[in-house]
Structure 1
């Protein structure tokens, strides 16, 4: 069943061609008779790089800190991420991954060598947070680790040894070393990235060269692993073509894609003090994710019609200028209702393309880019992005309900975007959820939903605010949070919903 949402949220702004009176009204139609597919919970993955205060001062404060912790990891962050039900966590990078040598981060902390983090701020990395620390933290979180291997400055043997160190249960040099360092049983890590951004900070490679490098590294990574190739930079469709053509399907489980919602890479603008024009341009970039997923998927379909290989969008989110007075290399930015819009629209896109998008990672978890958690000393705040992901978690491993969406336009000057974004699913208990986003900066949207089923009740929550620039701060940590939504009426299999401007709603139908 063709989903019209896919045809309207394509990230390209359209010239005005019709008067408001001729524009389509907001209408959503469920297609419950369509073939079923699952919204993989791994779409809700996160990303923790050794960058700024994501690890040190974020996740990790050390076991001597006054801040309550478990083996040096903040208890409040653990609790917050458990509440999100995060399915996987990517580490140690990012660009940092291709300068990281894992053996520097094992053994007694006082004996670990230091390095300089040349990518992010030129600070000294003391390697006090390493493989054991990360994998033990993932166990505490109840999440799957996703390790990014060093291909750029590492060796095949180094990555093969890492796989053996964390996964092998028999006797070997690496399993003996793991046990010597205090871990008897292996962690059994399934998800492995074979390098990161090989087209850029991972080595400035050509796709033909990287395809051969990938084949070489993957050959020596033993075990039943889910191997993910370093994929395209946004709309570099040739990169995807070359990799899918030159890497045998039996060697490839996932192909990465990176895309950030950016106004202009040379003039990113403030995370908080932004105009409607800047907001519109950010949302145009966010909506472009639909085009990217569609076009990269079409290329993958040529070589993989059975969709064995997952499209793994393992870096996505908003990217702005850092906050005033902070290290430019630390990428610390606030998180406003604009970021809630990015999160809601992007997750809806992933849901509606869940036949191919089966894993994704928001960049990043704590204190970096579009973070779900910000910390300052002992304080911790949850961002609007956190709240959207918490509202949306009901879709994890649920069955997608294909929908048609007819949307009014959000108009800015002579450009347009679809005002309404949506996705729907039915969970294992038979409860239906629909996620709705209105990105219009000034106009409310009334939406008619033809459910095609005899639901008896509707309830839900909304995240909204008076200003797009509103955010949670350390002085007002709960300024933005979801509240009960009263703007939905269910009658004769038709749901009518009134969405305020720039708001996110998740409804439960029973």
Structure 2
């Protein structure tokens, strides 16, 4: 608590300098609509690839490890993911998915072949974490599994056998094999990715070629009347490749597809990403430019989808997003291990607000990645685990899970640097099943606080409580020596009177206000 008060004191001193300028007021009007849109909890999904220390040493340490575990999965990770109400988990990739052959990861562990991870560091792994381990973990977490299937180097038979193995109850060859391996009842996996990044590591395909290949695979996917009701997700565009989305929506019959994916990462420059924790304001501004471009990407891809699917039967699935920087000094370049600062909290808060506001079409998203890779929510070092600023944003935003979106209008201040400007304020609002209003606000400005006036209209909100994530510096992060340097605290710098809410939002902060 003392550290948190020191942070607020620091910001008060910062404000005294920043407020020497005239302050622009951001105005937000909440406009409840009769057209109900639900913010799917699956927007808050995660992604665990066989990459670096994501699976091994991250999620999985093995049942013989002295680190407390359940069937080899770290108990601290299990609890941390439960605490953010993880709705779904994507596995085994990523690029790794299109080199993964699932039958090598089932049966007695001592009999499983080793494989070389050609994409991530060229390391050899023993396949000790496979289908049973992953799906049993999802059951413990109460999360829906999202399996990314091998299209790039696999076959239709291999794919459909996997579906049969995890979903068919009995009487089939794969159901019999599953039972021999110790699992009697099926897992009824619903979400299936039909390949990954087919424009790149999935095979460097054209969208026309992939659309035909997708139709072939999707045609042979069946759940035999089980409760899973397969949800087929096509490998979608890389950032602003709108032609890719156009071809998929044009060429794939709507009875063969439930979702189209999109991948987009935030970084300074692709060839020079810079340090995750030692960055300057120019690098911060550039990273936020790419992060906020998600609004444009989602809007334009949705426009194409609306053209071919005006009834919105096909969902947009942003199943890889997050910040991407250079690896930490002294670590394997192929392991993509990076620290997580308040910059990442800004990316997370603003991006999730974008997804919420487009939840009529965006129905799932997956932060990359869960543990020890890219914008992770948790980092591990032997028996120790720390939670990152991104984790805390995810936990603060659980109030939006499966809540009703409240549409809004924003006329906000700008964050300016070196002659360029970005929207300083990001916001989304929802009403939960108890009809309580929740509002998430982000101020990405690195120096200035922003005053915000919210008109709550006829929502009849009487009282609110608030939580804030804040730090002394944008570069601040949690370490294994100081694991709670950044964590949420109580926020009181707001006033609510007669349906008008005034908020003083500190620089680089995330605030969630909740109706009592």
TM range (shorter): over 0.9
* 1:13 aligned residue: none
Give the TM-score normalised by the residue count of structure 1. 0.95
Question: 1:22 Cα shift?
Answer: 10
Pick the aligned partner of 1:469 from 475, 479, 493.
475
Q: SS where residue 46 of structure 1 aligns?
A: strand
Question: Is it true that 1:439 corresponds to 2:444 in the alignment?
Answer: yes
Secondary structure of residue in 1 paired with 2:135? helix
Give distance in 2, aligned partners of 1:383 and 1:266: 25
Q: Does 1:45 align with 2:45?
A: yes
> 1: CA distance between counterparts of 2:113 and 2:242?
40
What whole-Å deviation, never above 9, does each CA across 1:329-362 have from its counterpart, x for those lacking one?
0000000000000000000000000000000000
Equivalent in the alignment of 2:319: 314
In structure 2, C-alpha distance between the alignment counterparts of 1:256 and 1:33, rounded to whole Å: 28
Task: Determine the C-alpha separation between the residues in 2 that align with 1:64 and 1:130.
Answer: 17
Among 245, 251, 256, the alignment partner of 1:246 is 251
How many angstroms apart in 2 are the aligned matches of 1:468 and 1:109? Answer: 45
Q: What secondary structure sits across from 1:349 in the alignment?
A: helix
Q: How far is 1:221 from its partner?
A: 1.1
1:98 deviation in Å? Answer: 0.2
Query: 2:59 — aligned with what?
Result: 59
How far apart are residue 23 of structure 1 and its match?
Answer: 9.2
Secondary structure at 1:26 match in 2: strand
2:456 corresponds to 1:451: yes
Aligned-partner Cα distance in 2 for 1:300–1:416: 30
Matched, 1:501 2:475: no
Tell me if structure 1 keeps the 8 A contact 2:68–2:75.
yes
| Number of aligned residues | 491
CA distance in structure 1 between the partners assigned to 2:82 and 2:131 by the alignment = 21
Is 1:365 the counterpart of 2:370 in the alignment? Answer: yes
Partner of 2:14 in structure 1?
Answer: none
Q: Unaligned 5+ residue runs, structure 1?
A: 1-19
Distance 1:68 1:287 in 2: 40
Residue by residue over 1:441-464, the C-alpha shift from the partner in whole angstroms, topping out at 9 and shown as x without a partner, is: 000001000001322111110000
- Name the CA distance, whole Å, in 1 between partners of 2:24 and 2:38: 30
- Whether 1:409 aligns to 2:417 is no
Determine helix, strand or coil for the equivalent of 1:132: helix
Q: Are 2:30 and 1:30 aligned? A: yes
CA drift at 1:170:
2.4
SS in 2 for 1:289: helix
Deviation at 1:99, TM superposition (A): 0.2
Residue 279 (1) aligns with residue 281 (2):
no
Q: How does 1:338-353 map to 2 (within 5 A)?
A: 338-353=343-358
Tell me: CA distance 1:21–1:67, structure 2 relative to 1, closer, same or farther (3 Å): closer
Q: Please tell me the root mean square deviation across aligned C-alpha atoms, in Å.
A: 1.1
Is the Cα contact below 8 Å between 1:34 and 1:402 reproduced in 2?
no
Residues 403-452 of structure 1 deviation map (CA, whole Å, 9 limit, x = unaligned): 10111110001100011000000000111000000000000001000001
The 2-side partners of 1:461 and 1:308 are apart by 36
* Cα distance in 1 between the residues matched to 2:149 and 2:26: 46
1:147 match: secondary structure: strand
1:122 aligns with 2:122: yes
Is residue 486 of structure 2 the alignment partner of residue 486 of structure 1? no
Find the aligned partners of 1:492 and 1:216 in 2 and give their Cα distance.
Answer: 59
Aligned equivalent of 2:156? 156
Cα separation, partners in 2 of 1:61 and 1:457, compared to 1, 3 Å: same
Distance 2:514 2:372 in 1: 32
Provide the residue aligned with 1:186 in structure 2: 186
The alpha-carbon deviation at position 278 of structure 1 amounts to 0.3
Task: Tell me, yes or no, if the aligned pair for 2:25 and 2:450 is still in contact at 8 Å.
Answer: no
Residue by residue, what CA displacement relative to the aligned partner does 1:196-233 show, whole Å, maximum 9, x if unpaired? 00000000000000000000011111122000000000
- Runs in 1 of length 4+ with deviation above 4 angstroms? 20-24
| Deviations 1:352-406, CA, capped at 9 Å, x for gaps | 0000000000000000000000000000000000000000011000000001011
Tell me, yes or no, if the aligned pair for 1:24 and 1:406 is still in contact at 8 Å: no
Report matched runs for 1:72-87 at 5 Å: 72-87=72-87
Corresponding residue for 1:171?
171
Structure 2 residue 330 is matched with structure 1 residue 325: yes
Which residue does the alignment assign to 1:8? none
Q: Report the more deviating stretch, 34-43 or 481-490.
A: 34-43
1:33, CA displacement in angstroms? Answer: 3.5
Normalising by structure 2, we get a TM-score of: 0.94
CA separation in 2, counterparts of 1:134 and 1:114? 18
The residue aligned with 2:423 is 418
In 2, are the aligned partners of 1:458 and 1:489 still within 8 Å (CA)?
no
